Homo-oligomer: A and B are copies of this chain.
Amino acid sequence: MEYAFNGVTPVILGFLDFGSRSGYDIKNAVDKSTRFFWAASYGQIYPELRRLEKSGLIEGESAPRGGRRRTVYTITDAGREALLRWLRAPELTREVRDEGMLKLFFAGALEPEEALGLLQAKRRQHEEALRRLRAIELDTPESEGLPYVVLQGGLAIHESIVEWCSKMERRLGKGGS
A residues apposed to B, CB below 8 Å: 7, 10-11, 14, 17, 33-34, 36-39, 80, 83-84, 86-88, 90-110, 114-115, 118-119, 121-122, 125, 144-150, 152-153, 156-157, 159-161, 163-164, 168, 171-172, 176-177
Q: Let me know if A39 and B177 touch, CB within 8 A.
A: no
Q: Let me know if B99 and A87 touch, CB within 8 A.
A: no
Q: Let me know if B84 and A150 touch, CB within 8 A.
A: no
Q: Let me know if A150 and B99 touch, CB within 8 A.
A: no
Chain B residues positioned under 8 Å from A105 (CB to CB): 14, 33-34, 146-147, 150
Inter-chain CA distance A34–B164, complex, in Å, is 18
A45 to chain B, nearest CB (A): 15
Q: Let me know if B37 and A106 touch, CB within 8 A.
A: no
A112 to chain B, nearest CB (A): 10
Top 10 closest pairs, chain A to chain B, by CB: A144-B177, A160-B160, A14-B106, A37-B98, A93-B99, A156-B164, A37-B101, A92-B100, A95-B97, A38-B102
Select A107's contact among B87, B110, B125, B172, beta carbons within 8 Å: B87
For chain A, what secondary structure do more than half of its interface residues adopt (helix, strand, loop), or is it mixed? helix
Q: Let me know if A104 and B156 touch, CB within 8 A.
A: no
A10 to chain B, nearest CB (A): 6
Q: Let me know if B110 and A100 touch, CB within 8 A.
A: no
26 contacts between A and B (CB under 8 A): A14-B102, A14-B105, A34-B101, A34-B102, A38-B96, A38-B98, A38-B101, A83-B106, A83-B109, A87-B103, A87-B109, A87-B110, A92-B99, A92-B103, A93-B99, A95-B95, A95-B96, A104-B149, A106-B146, A144-B176, A149-B171, A153-B161, A153-B164, A156-B160, A156-B163, A159-B160
